[in-house]
Structure 1
Amino acid sequence: MSPVRTTPPRPLEVTEVFPELAPFARPAIRLHPRPGSPSVRDSSVGGPLLWPAAEPWPHCEEAHLHVDSGFRQSPTEIRLERRLRERRRPGGPAPTLTPGERALQERNAAWLAERFDDGSPEPAECPVPMLPVAQLFLRDIPLLRPPGRADLLQVLWCPYEHEPDYKPSTALFWRSATEVTDILATPPQPYEADYPGYVPEPCVLAPETITEYPNSLEVGQELQQLLNDWNRWQAAATGVDSSYAEYPREFYDTHLANAPGWKVGGWPPWGRTDPYPRYCAVCEARMLPLLTIASFEWYGGDDGRSWTPQEDQAAAADSHHAGLNPSQPTRVEVGRTDNMQIYICPTSPEHLHTDLIQ
């Protein structure tokens, strides 16, 4: 696990001003991924999976969108380029690969040449090995509701966008960690990624439990009207900045409702579309948010950084260069800086999941 991360206290206790919101409170666990070197026995984002050697690695068999834009990079190449950018300084000389990075680059080039020189079809036309996105152990993330004796959730995706929603296809696996004794040492990886933002950086986690409330679009018109009543905010002596007087609901959504970033449980973010319920294709139960895969851990600007963990506020205030945004530790970008929400059936987590870009 990475060092502790602590969400700052909210500007006010929203249920004291709007007790009508109390029934909507939900627990969520902010994962707080930060770059590191997780092992197969750790909860992680983009890290190695505790995968049985005898179990086939998941491949995506769907049709893949592929435009020959000149982008031809394997996950290894993408991560090596990120290492170089991290070491580059404005006005300084171009960084060079370390001997270990150079060896990795050469092995990757030989691996690619072996596949393309033997008459293999274009990568986008092949079954594509999926990439690890998250591995979550129940011991670290107690909000998980695994089926049976399972205590581990593994999430993978295909690093290509798929029609009609133009997002990576996802796969979920529940398993019992103690039953995995012979571990797959070298999982297959895709020939290339459709977009660098679909290649997560290995990150350790610092889980933190918080309480969330729904986006105002999800609470119904009567409560929306209350949240829009500036007089009520003033009567409660909340000290909310007068810049929100015209749209006080915006203050609620930005600072009091649901947290940004990678998280388990809680309430989903909305905005790209109005909220709409998701129902299980097997039993028709209303599905619940399982995992939010986020492009950013906190929003930009002074207001948007109210969710920035206390331990990260100095870094968030500093300028950054070469894509080294401290609010984007995983380097993931879904839907071009949106969020991917994964939903599961509350009756049976093994029922087919669904996902949505917001």
Structure 2
Amino acid sequence: MTRTTPPRPADLEAAFPELASLARTATRLHPRPGIPSPQDSSIGGPLLWPASEPWPHCGEVAHHTSPIPLMSVADARLRQRLAAARDSRAAARPSREGWGYNPYTPEERAILEQIQAQDKPEGPVSMLPVAQLYLRDVPGLRPPEGSDLLQVLWCPFEHDDGMPTTALFWRTAAAVSDILLAPPEPAAIYGVFYVPEPCLVHPEEVIEYPSALELGKEMRERLERWAVTEFGIEYLDLCIPPGCKVGGYINWGMTDAYPTPCPTCGTPTEPLLTISGKEWYFDVHHWIPYEDQADNLAWGPGQDGPARPTRICVSDDNAQIIQICPASPEHPHTQIMQ
């Protein structure tokens, strides 16, 4: 099913012609729960991984485990299913009163009580699939010559930077003939936050403009004053859409904008993939695709519902941005959180 982002409340280039030269094309991935195969582009789905190639593991020792109890991948998925069922019951209520109290049924509570906490794993931790994107579905990928498939995995634990460590692989899909059907899973993971719900993607190209924090002081103040005066929202709610996407701009806000050079050659890196749990926010309607607006009406403030299809939550509900060096695909990628 396609996804179509409505127009913004205003034409930014008409109001500020100087933004026209700064426009970038990004691809909103619009992940939605499904049953992806290794031949599909997906978030959290199975990878087209060669059976002869070792599965990636995280060998770092700085795996943060407190205060979230550790659990198995299977138990994490079970908790996600029970939470989704609880939230769906809440959305079906005729009144939005009591949104802050969405109880589990006695049967669900009994199942949750049987989930046992796991010990912190020793040694390298198996990584989990986060994204698989085929060039045929996402033309904005710009892979290395001869490649047409991007695969991203991450460690299901937060590290010293507050994010999971990621691993990137570019490959040629036609060269994979014998697929690894049962990849290893970590013995324990950090809660449910880094186990994506398997989702198919529905890519859509959109135009983005830079965050106000990347612009000069005078321009920034004009944009922010105009957005609040004309629409009662912040400029950041107009320039860059939330959610998972390829390319585009970084939505600075947690910090001021800062340089992110390639650690090998110093070339400024560019955003490749943004991983974010929230596809839109309750009070900013213009980022909700037309096709999802009816479902969204059933949910109240503070409720995720269809706005969090992957059930990912990076740190305190932030975005993890993977960046690459435009000078060479061989150089290591970097990642930041905003």
TM-score over 0.5 (shorter chain): yes
Partner of 1:181: 177
Match of 1:155, SS state, is strand
Partner of 1:134: 131
Task: Say whether 1:151 aligns with 2:131.
Answer: no
> Is the CA contact (8 Å cut-off) linking 2:50 and 2:180 kept in structure 1?
yes
2:275 paired with 1:277:
no
Q: Could you tell me how far apart the structure 2 residues matched to 1:207 and 1:297 are? A: 13
Provide the C-alpha distance between the structure 1 equivalents of 2:84 and 2:332, rounded to a whole number of angstroms.
39
Partners of 1:162 and 1:56 in 2: CA distance: 23
Residues 24 and 186 (structure 1), Cα distance of their counterparts in 2 relative to 1, 3 Å cut: same
1:220 has 2:200 as partner: no
- Counterpart of 1:166 in structure 2: which amino acid? G
CA distance in 1, matches of 2:321, 2:18: 26
Counterpart residue number, 2:237: 254
The Cα offsets for residues 302-356 of structure 1, whole Å up to 9 and x where unpaired, read as xx22211111112222126997621110000002201000100111123100001
**Residues 217 and 131 from structure 1, CA distance in 2 versus in 1: closer, same or farther, beyond 3 angstroms?**
same
Percent identical among aligned pairs is: 49
**Structure 1 unaligned spans of 5+:** 117-121, 245-249
| CA offsets 1:183-227 (integer angstroms, 9 cap, x no match) | 001000111111311111100000000100011111122322432
Q: Who is 2:189 aligned against?
A: 193
1:3-46 Cα distance to aligned partner (Å, 9 max, x none): 11110011121111110111110000000000000000000000
Say which of 81, 84, 91 aligns to 1:83: 81
SS of match in other structure, 2:291: helix
Determine helix, strand or coil for the equivalent of 2:306.
Answer: coil
| TM-score (normalised: structure 1) | 0.83
Letter in 2 for 1:282: T
Task: Please provide the CA RMSD for this pair.
Answer: 2.7
Q: 2:70–2:120: 8 Å Cα contact kept in structure 1?
A: no
Determine the structure 1 residue equivalent to 2:334: 354
Q: CA deviation at 1:67?
A: 4.0
Cα–Cα, structure 1 residues 142 and 309, in superposed 2: closer, same or farther, change >3 Å?
A: same
Contact residue 288 and residue 343 of structure 1 kept, 8 A: yes
Would the alpha carbon gap of residues 84 and 278 (structure 1) be closer, same or farther in structure 2, given more than 3 Å must change? same
1:308 correspondence with 2:288: yes
User: Distance in 1 between the 2:265 and 2:63 partners?
Assistant: 32
Partner of 1:5: 3
**Hey, what does 2:311 align to over in structure 1?**
331
Say which SS state the counterpart of residue 197 (structure 1) adopts: coil
In structure 1, C-alpha distance between the alignment counterparts of 2:10 and 2:59, rounded to whole Å: 49
Report the Cα distance in structure 1 between the residues aligned to 2:54 and 2:146, rounded to whole angstroms: 21
Within the candidate set 226, 240, 244, 2:230 is matched to 240
Which residue of 199, 205, 209 corresponds with 1:209? 205
Asked if structure 2 preserves the Cα contact closer than 8 Å seen for 1:87 and 1:95, the reply is no
1:65 match: 63
Larger-gyration structure (1/2): 1
Q: 1:215 and 1:49 mapped to 2: Cα distance? A: 33
The CA deviation string for residues 167-187 of structure 1, in whole angstroms up to 9 with x for no partner, is 110100000000000000100
Deviations 1:103-153 (A, max 9, x none): xxx9x99xx9xxx9xxxxx54332100000000000001011111211000
Aligned residues of 2:236 and 2:251 also touching (Cα < 8 A): no
**1:170 is the counterpart of 2:166:** yes
Deviations 1:234-256 (A, max 9, x none): 9xxxx924x46xxxxx2x3212x
- In structure 2, the residue matched to 1:119 is none
Q: How many residues align?
A: 321
Greater Cα shift, 47-56 or 7-16: 7-16
Letter of the aligned partner of 1:332 in structure 2? I
Unaligned runs of 5+ in 2: 91-102
User: Aligned residue for 2:98?
Assistant: none
| Cα distance in 2, alignment partners of residues 213 and 169 from structure 1 | 28
Paired residues of 1:264 and 1:291 also in contact (CA < 8 A) = yes
SS in 2 for 1:240: helix
CA distance in 1 between counterparts of 2:321 and 2:48 reads 23
Contact 1:85 1:322 in 2 (8 A): no
Q: Residue 137 of structure 2 aligns to which amino acid in structure 1?
A: D
Q: What is the CA distance between 1:76 and its match in structure 2?
A: 1.2
User: Hey, what does 1:16 align to over in structure 2?
Assistant: 14
Residues 322 and 341 of structure 1: CA distance in aligned 2, closer, same or farther (over 3 Å)? closer
SS at match of 2:193: helix
Residue aligning to 1:38: 36
CA distance in 2, matches of 1:70, 1:281: 32
User: Are the equivalent residues in 2 in contact too, given 1:65–1:124 (CA < 8 A)?
Assistant: no
* Alignment-mate amino acid for residue 6 of structure 1: T
C-alpha contact (below 8 Å) 2:243/2:280 kept by paired residues: yes
Matched AA of 1:295: G
